[in-house]
C-alpha cells in the first residue's frame, strides 16, 4: 500500500534540519567548553556546580537530536523516495476511480 505523505518532502526536510544542526554544532561546542570552564571557578557552591552539570548534560543532547534525524530517515519506507521521484518525472495524473 503506497504511503499518502511525501517521502521526498520528509527527506528534504531532514536534510535542512541536519544542515541547521551542523551550523549549530560549533556554537554548542563553544558553549560546552565555556560551561566546563565555569565549573572550575574557585569556591563554586555545590548547588551552582549541580546546575552547571545539568547544563552540560543538556548541551550534550545535541547528539540525541542527530539520532532523531536519523530515526526519521530510517522510518521512511524502503524505496518510497525513489518511487515518488519516479512518479514525479511523469507529472501527476488523477485516478479515474
pLDDT (average), residues 18-31: 95
Quick one: residue 41, left, alpha or beta (phi over 0 = left, psi -120 to 50 = alpha)? beta
Q: Give the domain ranges of the chain.
A: 7-77
Taking CA atoms, 2 is separated from 82, 84, 95, in Å, by: 12, 10, 14
Q: What is d(CA 19, CA 11) in angstroms, rounded to the nearest whole number? A: 12
pLDDT tens for residues 80-91? 999 898 888 877
pLDDT tens for residues 32-52? 999 999 999 999 999 999 999
pLDDT (average), residues 44-62: 96
Amino acid at each position: 500500500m503506497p504511503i499518502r505523505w511525501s517521502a521526498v518532502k520528509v527527506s528534504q526536510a531532514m536534510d535542512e534540519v541536519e544542515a541547521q544542526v551542523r551550523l549549530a554544532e560549533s556554537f554548542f561546542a563553544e558553549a560546552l567548553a565555556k560551561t566546563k570552564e565555569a565549573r572550575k571557578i574557585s569556591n563554586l557552591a555545590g548547588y551552582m556546580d549541580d546546575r552547571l552539570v545539568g547544563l552540560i548534560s543538556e548541551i550534550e543532547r545535541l547528539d540525541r537530536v542527530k539520532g532523531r534525524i536519523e530515526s526519521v530517515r530510517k522510518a521512511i519506507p524502503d524505496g518510497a523516495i525513489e518511487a515518488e521521484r519516479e512518479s514525479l518525472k511523469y507529472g501527476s495524473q488523477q485516478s479515474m476511480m
